[in-house]
Structure 1
């Protein structure tokens, strides 16, 4: 059930992203070609984001006589590499906390087990408080890796690139290695899928078995959605995603084979000089039932009298 919820959540996020991208510029069909409406070309999104990016594509396509296919490729690479440091910075923060949490698994496992085994709200609250205290004592703060600034900075570029690839005049009638950029292309779709699956596969190489178990489904869903959306879009848009996939693979190689090994070494050194703080398991704070409390109260006089009788017998002896 949890896995199904994860899949549906990711599908919803991906679908929302596609709708936002495709819905930024209103379009209509003219002579069998989808183009922006007159009102859309006067809109703020088109004027600020799409038009400058279209001009950037035109610079390579017409001014340098490279064609629209290479124009999309070069513009996508330039933008992607410009914002690559932001992506790596965000990846570093999130990966650092993940690796640190994995290193401290022996500290957190008993607390997580107690949390799963909790049968009452009181037990669950005590286990959660103990887990949060252990995380705080050992410097774990997952919220610190969820900064929105890198995403907010990247998002306008993605919107502009997507719409420029879809609606720049001339792209719909251009070809790239014999592929019509105005129609869907299974070839470019498969290329995009291969790069995103490769990025996913590389990301699993440095994962622990537990991380693979919990995160593999989410990782696989991303390239699957890229394939679906690429096939539903013109080849010009699919080409943008395919080239973006190349940069994603490069980014993942840096994270997996350069960033993570150094990060693990840093974490080991950190805890070598400052050993992990072990957490105490939460006490059983489950309140006794009214019946148990009542029986205890009923037994009190009997125990008191019984104690008095025994003491009298001991004195007589």
Structure 2
């Protein structure tokens, strides 16, 4: 479990870097964004920021807020779908806890590598049987579709002509802002806390609580070394993430919980138990049958010997 958590933390850090920089190339000579993603998505976003800021006279701060909201609303269905898959996985895990727990206990108490491998295979087989993904049910496709938009708006907020010389509410947009960095960290922390809503399994809750500090700290850390224009984009993104989490908590999750319970009520799964390495008598139903038949066989032989 510890190695899985370390892998998850590392993956989150790499994913954050990929989201911010992986989809848009930067010209080494000029330092300006280039490439297909920038030309097709980023440059139009930059033009939209300039339009609201200069043509409409709203200023670059308000322009970044408007464009960020528009982009977030466009990709909101992808985010909700991603959350829907993760929530479905969570609800299935909660409902099938009595089925998976014997396998997890067997894996935890395994003493040899062979026993651990056998327990892992049994756990994966049980998860597959009940449609539970070992990767949490999230999937890569929705994330990959969102990455170009995140990367493009990140560079648009930073490299739009005129934004570095502008200010918003007295905050220079061309230099880092501790105030906006703190706001971004708090908002992403609140979103992480909201994600705990409805999670009944204590193990999952503990994992979410531990991971809840990672994203806010990373966002705040990046904000302290990024222009305030980028941090403003993250602040607005934090508000939109909270909105998405409210939709998941109070609309998506209740429907999925009802759906999972109805499916399991029609076809209730049966828990299986296993003999554990420490010798406790916790066996499958097939094992007592084998022992009984063996005893009967011995009794028959004993009777024949007495008759002689």
TM-score when normalising by structure 2: 0.81
SS in 2 for 1:145: coil
Q: CA deviation at 1:219?
A: 2.3
Give 4+ residue runs of structure 1 displaced > 6 Å after superposition: none
Tell me which moved more, 45-54 or 94-103. 45-54
- The number of aligned residues is 280
* Distance (Å, rounded) in 2 between the aligned partners of 1:88 and 1:229: 25
1:113 corresponds, among 84, 105, 122, to: 105
Equivalent residues in 2 for 1:120-269, closer than 5 Å: 120-142=112-134, 145-208=137-200, 209-269=202-262
State the partner residue of 1:83: 75
Q: CA deviation at 1:103?
A: 1.2
State the Cα deviation string for residues 189-212 of structure 1 (Å, max 9, x = none).
Answer: 122112111111111132232211
Asked if structure 2 preserves the Cα contact closer than 8 Å seen for 1:138 and 1:277, the reply is: no
The unaligned stretches of length 5 or more in structure 1 are 29-35, 285-306
Q: CA deviation at 1:69?
A: 0.6
Q: CA deviation at 1:171?
A: 0.3
Task: Tell me: CA distance 1:131–1:10, structure 2 relative to 1, closer, same or farther (3 Å).
Answer: same
* Distance (Å, rounded) in 2 between the aligned partners of 1:273 and 1:46: 51
* Distance (Å, rounded) in 2 between the aligned partners of 1:16 and 1:159: 8
* Distance (Å, rounded) in 2 between the aligned partners of 1:9 and 1:226: 15
Q: CA deviation at 1:27?
A: 6.2
The answer as to 2:271 corresponding to 1:278 is yes
Equivalent residues in 2 for 1:17-32, closer than 5 Å: 17-20=19-22, 24-26=25-27
Taking only aligned residues, the RMSD between alpha carbons, in angstroms, comes to 2.7
* Distance (Å, rounded) in 2 between the aligned partners of 1:62 and 1:79: 20
Higher Cα Rg: structure 1 or 2?
1
Task: Tell me: CA distance 1:54–1:252, structure 2 relative to 1, closer, same or farther (3 Å).
Answer: same
SS in 2 for 1:216: helix
SS in 2 for 1:233: coil
Task: Tell me: CA distance 1:128–1:282, structure 2 relative to 1, closer, same or farther (3 Å).
Answer: farther
Q: CA deviation at 1:279?
A: 3.0
Q: CA deviation at 1:140?
A: 2.2
Tell me which moved more, 165-174 or 136-145. 136-145
Q: CA deviation at 1:42?
A: 6.2
Task: Tell me: CA distance 1:163–1:27, structure 2 relative to 1, closer, same or farther (3 Å).
Answer: farther
State the partner residue of 1:33: none
The answer as to 2:86 corresponding to 1:94 is yes
The unaligned stretches of length 5 or more in structure 2 are 278-300
